[in-house]
Amino acid sequence: MITVKEVKRSLLVSLWFVFLTFPLMVIKVNPFERTVSWRWSNMVYVAIGTFVISLLAKAWFVRKENRLSRQQEDSCRARTPIIQRILQRPGYRYPLAAFLLGAALVFPHIFSTYQANIMTTALMYIVLGLGLNIVVGVAGLLDLGYVAFYAVGAYSYALLNLHFDLGFWTVLPIGGLLAALFGVLLGFPVLRLRGDYLAIVTLGFGEIIRLILENWNAFSKGPSGISNIPRPGFFGLEMSLDQAMIYMYYLMIGLLLVTIFVVNRLQDSRLGRAWLALREDEIACQAMGIDKTRTKLIAFSLGAFWAGLIGVIFAAKTTFVNPASFTFMESAIILSIVVLGGMGSIVGVILGALILVLLPEYLRALSEYRMLAFGAILVAMMIFKPEGLIANVRRVYCYKGKKSNTSLKNDE
């Protein structure tokens, strides 16, 4: 039950939000007419809205604490989220997967090419999120320079096509392998680092790659970038722009299916269990005989491989690359996809990518409040679901003991 103290706290939260949003929501300056209009009604809406939301949030937390206290009475009670329980049942999982695949296949024929182009971008970020999920979500290695491998793949296609006239299908595996090589080169210096130190070094690595591409004009054309990159072909057929966009969409569908299959098999393999052990306790992992160096390097190289593949596809999709496309914000968005969806969860990463990529696009109707609403949704998710949309449930084994003779007689 909500107390008077909680109501007072909600009131303070409401006043604080009014103070923070006052310049954006209340003051409107017209530079052409040199006038200032005061929208006091917006301040009232913000105050009432945040007060109600704060009260609802506190009521939700109270209910959650009561539920957890009841669950502690029976430590073996199933705590698997309802979405996970649905996905674990083949009777629900396979029809749902077939329906989603069918909807994805007919999507470009129902909606416009613009919508298909947006969905292609979302699919690219899903694969990027699944690649980073190997490093961060499964192996527990915080990588803030993931965009560097993305840039390596994109510039591999751009430069190899520019100087050697190599096509998309030839460069696609080369870009992935080059990015994997850079992942190994990054992995060696950070073998002994963990936590914040690892994050700082990987962040520096990402910035080094971007600055090299931006300042080495003779190699990467500098800030001007490389243009006229050919799109992927299909047995030499000539395709219009709309047909090329739809072709890229189906190409991403195929790559996404392969990525989901490979990542899922990796998580259930011996290597995947080694990554989980490394994430939980690095010292205990090494004491159990797991080669920590090899495990980390494989995680970095595999995560970078998928980023390199998507980098090649990005260069082919946009037909232009420059260093401005590979800033730290790209790494932050991909990391947000993994954290928002759920660390180590494949389905969670897919949902997180769809939300973070599609939501800002479809919130354009809110005009100037679009990013404010987007940020508020992210903050709400981190408050109410800090473990992510679909958390990766840890397997728990419970021993309830044998039944007594009395209970056995009663059962008979």
Rounded mean pLDDT for each run of 10 residues along the chain, 412 residues in total: 76 84 80 82 85 80 69 52 61 78 89 90 94 90 91 94 90 94 88 82 90 90 90 81 90 94 89 87 84 89 94 93 90 89 87 86 69 72 75 59 46 42
380 located within any domain: yes
CA nearest neighbour of 140 among 295, 347, 306: 295
Using only the alpha carbons of the chain, give its radius of gyration.
25
**What is the C-alpha to C-alpha distance for residues 229 and 316, in angstroms, rounded to an integer?**
6
Q: Which two tokens stand for residue 277?
A: 């052990």
Residue 72's pLDDT is what? 54
**What is the C-alpha to C-alpha distance for residues 243 and 238, in angstroms, rounded to an integer?**
9
Claim to verify: residue 58 and residue 131 sit in the same structural domain: no
Of 72, 99, 131, the position where a domain reaches its end is 72
Claim to verify: residue 65 and residue 126 sit in the same structural domain: no
Residue 404's pLDDT is what? 45
> Terminal CA-to-CA distance of the chain, rounded, Å?
45
The model scores a pTM over 0.75: yes
Residue 78's pLDDT is what? 47
**What is the C-alpha to C-alpha distance for residues 238 and 236, in angstroms, rounded to an integer?**
7
**What is the C-alpha to C-alpha distance for residues 7 and 66, in angstroms, rounded to an integer?**
19
Domains: count for the chain: 2
- Amino acid sitting at position 141: L
- Amino acid sitting at position 44: V
Claim to verify: residue 57 and residue 99 sit in the same structural domain: no
Claim to verify: residue 96 and residue 59 sit in the same structural domain: no
**What is the C-alpha to C-alpha distance for residues 334 and 147, in angstroms, rounded to an integer?**
9
411 located within any domain: no
372 located within any domain: yes
400 located within any domain: no
Residue 289's pLDDT is what? 86
Residue 343: what are its φ and ψ, rounded to 5°? -65, 125
Instruction: Outline where 188-291 has alpha helix (H).
Output: 195-215, 217-220, 241-267, 270-280, 282-287
Q: Write the burial class of residue 170 (CB in 10 Å: 0-12 exposed, 13-18 middle, 19+ buried).
A: middle
Claim to verify: residue 49 and residue 122 sit in the same structural domain: no
Residue 399: what are its φ and ψ, rounded to 5°? -120, 115
Claim to verify: residue 14 and residue 107 sit in the same structural domain: no
Claim to verify: residue 21 and residue 140 sit in the same structural domain: no
Claim to verify: residue 237 and residue 354 sit in the same structural domain: yes
Claim to verify: residue 227 and residue 266 sit in the same structural domain: yes
Claim to verify: residue 235 and residue 356 sit in the same structural domain: yes
Claim to verify: residue 280 and residue 183 sit in the same structural domain: yes
For residue 204, how many other CB atoms are within 10 A of its CB?
Answer: 12
CA nearest neighbour of 139 among 305, 280, 265, 258: 280
109 located within any domain: yes
| β-strand pairing of 35-38 with 226-227 | unpaired
Claim to verify: residue 19 and residue 159 sit in the same structural domain: no
80 located within any domain: no
Identify any residues that bridge with 346 across adjacent strands, giving them in sequence order.
none
Residues 120/245, Cβ–Cβ less than 8 Å? yes
40 located within any domain: yes
395 located within any domain: no
Domain that holds residue 14: 4-72
